[in-house]
Structure 1
Amino acid sequence: MPGASFIIASQTSPNLEFLSGVQLEVLGFLKPQRDAFFSNFFPDPVTAKNALLHFETTLGFYDFSKSPQFCYTVCSAYNFLINSGTKLPMTLTQLFVHILVYLIDKITQKDKMINIVRALGNLASHCALNSQSNVQRDTLDEFGLLSEFPLSDFLCVYGESDKAIYSWRSPLMQEFILAVSVLLGLSLHSVEEILEKHKKHTHFLDIFMSGLCEQVHWRPLEETLGPCSANKIFAFKNWLKTLCEKTLPGNNKEDHCRCFHLLYQMQNEKVVKEVITPSARLGLSYGNLKLLDYVVLNYVVRQLGEMEQINLYNTSLLTEEMAEILAPTMAVSCKFILSQCSFEDGAVTHVASALSKGIATSLDLSYSCLNKKQLQSLCTGLKNCKVESLQFSRGKLTEASCEEFVPALTSTTSQLSVLNLCANQIGDMGLKKLCEALQNPHNKVQGLNLQHCTLTAASMEDLSTALSSGHSKLININLSNNEIGDTGVKPLSKGVQHPFCKLESLRLFDCYLTEACCPLLAEALMSKHCSLREIDLSVNELGHEGAMVLCKALKRPGCPMEKLSLARCELTEAVFVELASLLKSGSPPLKSLSVACNDVGDQGVHHLWEAIRHPSCELEKLDVEMTGLTDACVNDMCAAIKASKTMRKLKIHNNLLTDVSVPTLIRVMQESPNMEKLNVQYNDFGEEMFELFETCPKIRY
């Protein structure tokens, strides 16, 4: 290409301004170049590896990608510290303190050092506020940087004499010098004014000020520069505390991380505990942060000693390095949220190790897909840990995956009591393997969610055997959205009647049931050994006959049923009459009833309103969504609410109520202290009614 030219540079240069038609692109190091640089700088491979890891995890990249010179500076500082047997700096501030001490030692005019720092600090502020990377000689003179001051270690010089142009060797050094000058008390402005003034123009000023506030970090500079201003330090710490109090209850993880970085630079456990109060929110997701962000998060949590949860939701790839850094945080967290994450194999190993060593009682891996090796590593950790609840819905688990869980479920040291495998393709063979574990005397599983797990009647016999084994601890099981059918209900009913069965909650929502299974269920409900307190048979074709059989079974003296769900079961008004009779009798002691999506209209639901008014009725929650209610039912409904001493929550959404009923609904909710929530969504209300609903927070509209 005739006439074409290109320039490769490590940083921008004002000497290129006179060239026209030249495109300059500054490229920094990618990972391979960083590895190569450190390997070439340090002859010992182990030293090179450790130095690079320390740089990436402790200091971060910062302007490394802009200036390879910064890499050289860091390596030189590391080399000096390693050779002298000094511990490598933990923070960016500590590194720049070492660098500044080195530069000061080269200056012969120690008595003028305060003047040099004051002048450089003023210049740094001027360049930042005016977005200037280059200045001329007269600007230096204006800020008192006399020609006899040694500036070459701080500023690059382009050109000669009066036409020379100066620029900072490192933007980081520019901001570090500004922070030093502020904390020395060389500025007339307050700390708050300086930080606010430079907020949009600097990236690390507050970071450096936070680190320099601690005497232990400042001490190497004290011999030449003297002590920091006590007033400035006090003002900065107050500013930091106020910032954290405002930021941490919010939802912006970038803002959270900024606070963590400031606390990390300070390295003061007492300040961390003062700033991260119990009211501070650390519950949002910290997924997809940079490596250094995890370093500072880990530091903060370790200073606190214990954390309610560590949330890494939606992390695109949790690497082995990240997991290793976060392992101490995981070990002191009561709950891990790793849902919708992907992992490197080594990362899962660190998670498993943290589980074994830590205090976590809950692990959420929903929507996270683990390969066989990763699942084996996880289950190894689950065998000997405090985790009681494992959420693993939609994790693409299979029949083979269930085999991996068996050792964890049957371990003498496992505490796992809640297992959620919802929406996984484990099938009947997978459930059979789990049932083998449930019969083991060491298993502690009390809750099992197998919703949407492609189960059929073929595995119900195995489940029934497990329930009757005498070793099963199962209290609740969710089999919803599986094609179990009436055939599968038969062995289940036998299991529920067994004296050894401890089941209290059985959910069979949308399981292809018909009225043919109701006599079997009724037999179970009438058994003196049946301990069911909750049964969900919603979205099944039970019909009038099937529901009537169930209602009669529920009248058994001593029946413990408290929660009954019969939504969309083709119920009739006669069934509502029977349900009302149950409520009036107080036996069973029903506290929650769902009869949604059964179109019986005002006349059918009227029987329930009458029952709720009865003094023996103990109902607390009622769902009558899509039952065909109109304004005609509102007076009866409100009379029931007023009369009831137990009713707390009522759902009447998706019905035919209009604006006429709104004032009455608002009034009854305002006058009924027991009522906590009334859901009236998706009725035929006009938008002008929404303002009225806003006057009553207990109504959801």
Structure 2
Amino acid sequence: MDKDAALPHSLRSKVTSTLLGGEPPRSVISNNKYISPLAAAAHGPDSDADAGRLALDAAVHAALSAGAGAVTLVGPEGSGKTTALEQLLVGWAEGRHLQDFSFVFHFRFRELSSLDGTLSLETLLLRHHHGRLAPGSAARVLQNPEGALFVFDDLDRLERTSDPSAASDPRQPASVSGWVAGLLRGSLLKGAAFVATTREAESRPFPSGAVVRAAGFARPQREAYVTGFFLHDPAAAARATAHMERTLGFYDFCASPGFCWTVCSVYGSLMDAGAELPETLTQLYAQVLVRLIRALRLSEARARALVSALGEMASRCLVGRDSGCTEEEMDSFGFGTFLASVDGFLRVDADRSDGRVFSFRSRLVQEFLSAAAFLWDSAPSEGAQEMLAKLEGRAEFLDVFLAGLSEPRQRRPLEALLGAPDPDRVAGFDRWFRSSSREALKGCDKDRHLRCFHLLLQAQNQSSVREVVDDAARLGVSYGGPSLRDCAALNYVVTRLGGMQRLVLYNTRNLTEAHAETLAPTMRLAREINLNSSCFSPAAARRLSSALSGGLAEELDLSQSRVGDEKFNIFCAGLRNCKLRTLKIRSCALTEASAGALASLLTSGAPQLCVLEVGYNKLGDRGLMELCRALQGPLCKLQELLLDSCDLTAASVEALAAALCSGHSALRRVDLTRNAVGERGLAALSRSLQNPLCELQSLSLSDCELTSSCCLGLSEALASQRCRLRQLDLSVNDLHQEGALLLCRALRRPGCPVEKLSLARCRLTPPVLQELSSLLRGGCSGLTALSVGLNAVGDRGVKHLWDAVAHPSCLLEELDVEMTGLTDACVQDLCGAVRASRTLRRLELRNNALTDAAVPALVLAARDSERLLEMSLRYNDFSEDVFHEMDECQKIRY
């Protein structure tokens, strides 16, 4: 049709305004009330969910303008697809866009589905657009389709055979499904452009076209919509907006324009009556059902009969996965005289020669009616558990509505119309709900946990929360990637419990401002918060920061979340007024620009902070020097500082060494792994270790560019009476025999505090292990853990250690000889040492050359040892033939 005919056609609609169907497009567009929903888009870690997205009609226009021959607009019911298309057509008719198209043909498949028999596409165009096409237009379009745009609304509503023959000639008769198949497959009208809407579950996109997904309303669109709905009552609009944004259980649904229509309609009615607004989905749809039944002026008995019939239809559609029912089927459900007056609940999908086909206007109300009918229908039927099992995977909200309706406060408005529900069914569901919820919370399946929380949220019963979430519940599992509804349900449970130990949101890839706002009360009550590997925008960071301020959190893990300097500074604002003792910010894309905020946090903002993990950030020398000045402040109580892989050199390590012996530092543990400490840096640290003001007890210098020449100063420090070092990691440094022997001599000092020593991959030789063995057997060493893995010393070298382990003076509890070249030749000495040791608890033997022949002796030795807890044999040369033998000993890991 041409532009003159398109405008009145687009604004013509047989749809009437209903509580469940929404306002018709004609009213929305002609009254300038159109608020465009958004199209979904891919988001990076620094974007909010609605940032930078196109309006839905604009996204379709952009795809067509970019050369897409076909666009499939996909989205759930009520997401604004139909109205967006109508707006697009009005814009074309008014000359605002899509002016490359001379003709636009708009089809509503709900109307076309009633067509029987076959007809040509040309006949269909003339019949469906009768009076809106200039003479000869249809023929010209079919001959030269390049200037035509075909728009199909509700493609999923078209009845199609399982595999219709695709039409290829527009002048030859075919079924409606046949020519649709031809259009979808590209065999019909090549060169024309197409736009079709369909629901997510029924998506049938054009093979070579673009797909635009409807995301619905973001918060600004919702606010504009509510303001327009209550146009003449700003106070009501403000109250409705605030309530919709905070109300438990409405999150995610509010993105649907159709749902917003229902909510605003109910809100308006309740506010006019001075009544409370609903707090849950159950309360909302109870009000919807009350209004629809009252409009019919039914007695209690007739109202129950109608609910029973609607529930029967709802269950039939859920079980059969068929959205519609024929008039004959409706009669069997008991509709009788109701059929002429239930258009508030149902719509006509097709008006065929063999009768009409009806379906529900809303999937949510369909499931609500199924739940209501179960509780109010007195006819015999299966119990709640059997019904839910039958509909598992088909009904998403049935158990949610049952949980709400099982509570008197939630169902009270319905009882005024329907009377009391069947008490046995209410009690039966309640028993199932409590037992299944307790069982779910004992496990670690996050989806089952969240489902339980949703049911508790709908029930709105605090005593139920405390009864179901008992001491056996494992609330420490990860709830990463929650929806807004999940956040609301989790928040409800935690706030009713009064707190939780660990809130784990690991790998939440797009934590939006709305997510953070919803979870804020939970974050204030959680003792530990884990956001490891998560992504969020600056706006979300501000919400999180505000939640942490004044909260109970003692540990926050932001590691691998790519926070960046800007968002970290935002976080620090909230951390200045909290109880945080441990902050983990490893691999957060921080630079020296964040050092000032960290330093301020240590000196004045969070003096209780004891553990700071800042590894894998480009802090650099200047960043560490900034921190070192804070470490010397009188308010800084930091005890552990982990700086692995922070681009540090000797220059900043010297500053750190000075801070350690300043008299104000409380540091007990420092990790400098994978930094360029070198000889100069180690010399500075060695001097500090000999200072009586230095409290350091653990030092990690793995892979720090150390050599044998560095060991003299460190050896002197270890031999000092003032040294308090208990743990020392020098792995992955080229110490060689000379440097290692210097350290061994220092460790011989009576009273040397070192208890744990790691010399993995330090180019050790058998003489070094011989010296270590002598040290362990001498009675003066306090070593309880030793790692010499990744040194090629072979059976002969490690034999010295077996001799030591077997000696009564040896105190070793942990020994790591990974990848040292062990073979079956060492097994007799190894097993003898394990049996003889009075202290050995863990033995690491992985990545060696032990074979099946060694397994019986190893298993027997592990079994015989009363002290040994674990023997790791992973990555040796074992075949599957001996796996069962190792399985018999629980101490073996392979």
**Aligned residue for 1:7?**
107
Q: Deviations over 1:117-141 (max 9, x none)?
A: 2222222222222233222333222
User: In 2, are the aligned partners of 1:249 and 1:280 still within 8 Å (CA)?
Assistant: yes
State the match for 2:226 in structure 1.
38
Q: Distance in 2 between matches of 1:553 and 1:213?
A: 74
Q: Is residue 697 of structure 1 aligned with residue 890 of structure 2?
A: yes
- Per-residue CA deviation, residues 273-312 of structure 1 (Å, 9 max, x unaligned), is 2222333333333233222221111111112212121122
1:624-660 CA deviation, whole Å, 9 max, x = no partner? 1122212121111111111111100001112221211
- Provide, for residues 352-407 of structure 1, a one-character-per-residue CA deviation record: whole Å limited to 9, x for no partner: 22222221111101112234442222112222211111111111111121111111
Figure out how many residues of one structure are paired with residues of the other and give that number. 700
CA distance in structure 2 between the partners assigned to 1:286 and 1:51 by the alignment:
30
State the AA in 2 paired with 1:169. Answer: R
Maintained 8 Å contact 1:382/1:414: no
Q: Give 1:487's aligned residue.
A: 680
- 1:175-217 CA deviation, whole Å, 9 max, x = no partner? 2122112112534221111111222332221111010000111
Alpha-carbon separation, structure 1, partners of 2:837 and 2:873: 19
**88-97 or 243-252, larger mean C-alpha shift:** 243-252
Q: Does 1:316 align with 2:509?
A: yes
**Distance across 2 between alignment mates of 1:240 and 1:651:** 47
Contact 1:309–1:333 (Cα < 8 Å) also in 2:
yes
Distance of aligned partners of 1:564 and 1:200 in 2 relative to their CA distance in 1, 3 Å threshold: closer
User: For residues 585 and 187 of structure 1, what CA distance do their matches in structure 2 show?
Assistant: 86
Match of 2:323 among 121, 133, 139: 133
Counterpart of 1:177 in structure 2 is: 369
1:458-469 correspondence runs (5 A):
458-469=651-662
TM-score by length of 2: 0.74
Contact persistence 1:191–1:236 (CA under 8 A) = yes
- Do structure 1's residue 370 and structure 2's residue 558 form an aligned pair? no
Query: Aligned letter for 2:197?
Result: E
Q: Which residue of 1 aligns with 2:796?
A: 603
2:810 to 617, 620, 624: 617
Contact 2:252 2:484 in 1 (8 A): no
C-alpha contact (below 8 Å) 2:249/2:489 kept by paired residues: no
Work out which of the residue numbers 277, 286, 298 in structure 2 matches 1:88: 277
Q: Does 1:155 align with 2:346?
A: yes
State the distance in 1 between where 2:710 and 2:456 align: 63
SS class of match (2:718): helix
**Equivalent residue of 2:470, what SS?**
coil
Shift of the 442–4 alpha-carbon distance from structure 1 to 2, 3 Å rule, reads: closer
Q: Which residue of 1 aligns with 2:240?
A: 51
Indicate the SS of the match to 2:501: coil
1:45 Cα offset (Å):
5.6
Deviation at 1:317, TM superposition (A): 2.5
Q: 1:60 Cα shift?
A: 3.8
Measure, in 2, the Cα distance between the counterparts of 1:93 and 1:239: 19
| Maintained 8 Å contact 2:802/2:830 | yes
Deviates more, 1:125-134 or 1:642-651: 125-134
Give the CA deviation at 1:344: 2.2
**Residues 385 and 414, structure 1, Cα contact 8 Å, conserved in 2:** no
Q: Describe the superposition over 1:529-586 as per-residue Cα deviations: whole angstroms up to 9, x where unpaired.
A: 1000011111111111211111111111211110011112222222212211221123
Q: CA deviation at 1:461?
A: 2.0
Give the Cα separation in 1 of the matches to 2:436 and 2:762.
56
| Separation of aligned partners in 2, 1:226 and 1:184 | 8
Displacement of 1:63 = 7.3
Alignment of 1:456-535 (within 5 A): 456-535=649-728
Q: Is the 8 A contact 1:383 1:409 kept in 2?
A: no
**760, 781, 788: which one pairs with 1:588?**
781
Say if 1:185 and 1:232, in contact at 8 Å, map to a contact too: no
> Which segment drifts farther, 55-64 or 343-352?
55-64
3-state SS of the aligned residue for 1:122?
A: helix
After TM superposition, the structure 1 = structure 2 runs for residues 322-401 of structure 1, keeping only pairs within 5 Å, are 322-401=515-594
1:402 to 591, 595, 618: 595
| Rounded Cα–Cα distance in structure 2 between residues aligned with 1:562 and 1:546 | 19
> What one-letter code is carried by the residue in structure 2 that aligns with 1:81?
L
**Which residue of structure 2 lines up, in the alignment, with residue 659 of structure 1?**
852
Higher relative contact order, structure no. (Cα contacts within 8 Å, ≥ 6 residues apart): 2
Secondary structure, aligned partner of 2:437: helix
Output the amino acid matched with 2:360: W
Give the counterpart letter for 2:347 in structure 1. Answer: C
How far apart, in 1, do the equivalents of 2:552 and 2:255 lie?
A: 39
Residue pair 1:14, 1:134 contacting (<8 A) in 2 also:
no
Q: Is the 8 A contact 1:362 1:390 kept in 2?
A: yes
Are residues 1:434 and 2:627 paired?
Answer: yes
Is the Cα contact below 8 Å between 1:284 and 1:311 reproduced in 2?
yes
Cα distance in 1 for partners of 2:701, 2:760 equals: 12
29 and 483 in structure 1: CA distance in 2 versus 1, 3 angstrom threshold: closer
Matches within 5 A, 1:179-194: 179-188=371-380, 189-194=382-387
Distance 1:495 1:62, change over 3 A: closer
Report which stretch shifted further, 202-211 or 122-131.
Answer: 122-131
Structure 1: how far apart are the matches of 2:481 and 2:677? 41
CA distance in structure 2 between the aligned counterparts of 1:29 and 1:627, rounded to whole angstroms: 58
Distance 1:681 1:530, change over 3 A: same
TM-score, structure 1 length as denominator?
0.94
1:53, distance to aligned residue in structure 2 (A): 6.0
Name the counterpart of 2:13: none
- When structure 1 is superposed on structure 2, of 670-679 and 687-696 the one drifting more is 687-696
1:25 aligns with 197
Equivalent residue letter for 1:84: A
When residues 142 and 449 of structure 1 are mapped into structure 2, their CA distance, relative to the original with a 3 A threshold, is same
Which of 268, 272, 275 is the equivalent residue of 1:79? 268
How many angstroms apart in 2 are the aligned matches of 1:626 and 1:372? 41
| 1:120 and 2:310 are equivalent in the alignment | yes
Report if aligned partners of 2:487, 2:519 keep a CA contact under 8 Å in 1.
yes
Report the CA distance between 1:39 and its aligned residue.
Answer: 3.1
Moved more, 82-91 or 526-535: 82-91
Instruction: List runs of 5+ in structure 2 lacking aligned partners.
Output: 1-100, 116-157, 160-174, 184-195, 200-213
1:619 CA displacement: 0.6
Q: Is the 8 A contact 2:511 2:537 kept in 1?
A: yes
- Structure 1 residue 142 and structure 2 residue 300: aligned? no
Aligned partner letter, 1:41: F
Render the CA deviation track for 1:445-476: whole Å, top value 9, x for unaligned: 10011111111111122111101111100001
Q: Does 1:282 align with 2:475?
A: yes
Contact 1:8 1:26 in 2 (8 A): no
Contact 1:562 1:590 in 2 (8 A): yes
Q: Deviations over 1:148-189 (max 9, x none)?
A: 574233223465998333322322222212211211253422
Other structure's SS at 1:308 match: strand
Per-residue Cα deviation, 1:386-429 (whole angstroms, up to 9, x for no partner): 11111111111111211111111012753111011111111111
Give the residue type in structure 1 aligned to 2:592.
Answer: E
Greater CA deviation, 657-666 or 267-276? 267-276
Residues in 2 aligned to 1:279 and 1:148: alpha-carbon distance in whole angstroms: 50
Q: Residues 378, 190 of structure 1: CA spacing in aligned structure 2 closer, same or farther, 3 A cutoff?
A: same
Which residue does the alignment assign to 2:450?
257
**Partner in structure 2 of residue 646 of structure 1:** 839
AA partner of residue 863 (structure 2): Q
Show CA shifts across 1:588-616 (max 9, x none).
Answer: 21100011122222222112111111212
